[in-house]
Amino acid sequence: MYKVQKKDGTQEDFDPNKILSGVKKAGGSEEDAQKVLSEIQAWLPTAAQNNVVKALDIRTKGLEVLEQVSPEVFTKFKSYEKPPTS
């Protein structure tokens, strides 16, 4: 199981559903979301260090894949930023 290191340094288990829901919330189809998830899951072993990957790296890879899969959804997804936590 992979861990995701968030911006604040905390770690959580990699959750594929977060990728699926993020792509769908940006207007992507189930097929788009599955393609992005599949590419990320194939990429994880090469990106993870000690089974940990940075959340920002996952986002970057997801955007890279999404740009190829659906440029329109890519634009919407890219513009979304989580508000900073205090």
Q: pLDDT of 11-52, one tens digit each? A: 999 999 999 999 999 999 999 999 999 999 999 999 999 999
Q: Which two tokens stand for residue 61?
A: 């890879």
pLDDT value at 83 more than 60? no
pLDDT value at 81 more than 80? no
Q: Which residue has the tokens 């905390």?
A: 10
The pLDDT of residue 79 is 79
| Mean pLDDT, rounded, of the chain | 91
